[in-house]
Amino acid sequence: MRPDDVVGRWGGDEFVVVCSDVAPGGEGDLRDRLHSAFDEAIVLDGWKYEPSISLGAVRARAGESAEDVLKRADSAMYEAKRRRHRR
């Protein structure tokens, strides 16, 4: 993430990343960078873990509350999760 981005835990295994000054259409670049951070397996004490993530990226709309943005992001994440499990 960039130095001014904010990352916070949102429940058990969910996280929220708040980014400002993202160019229109730049959400895809952010998604790609996050996905690539989880591409490699993790080996720990002889065990191999292959992490996977589901990302939902949304852009806040004028006048929209933070709660509404988070609801839309959560819906987008669950849709990404459904698509990933269908493969």
Q: What is the pLDDT along the chain (87 residues), one digit of tens a residue?
A: 889 999 999 888 889 999 988 888 888 888 888 889 888 999 999 999 999 889 988 999 999 999 999 999 999 999 988 988 886
Give the SS3 label for residue 49.
strand
The pLDDT assigned to 46 comes to 95
The pLDDT assigned to 27 comes to 84
Dump strand ranges (E) for the chain.
6-9, 15-18, 42-44, 47-49
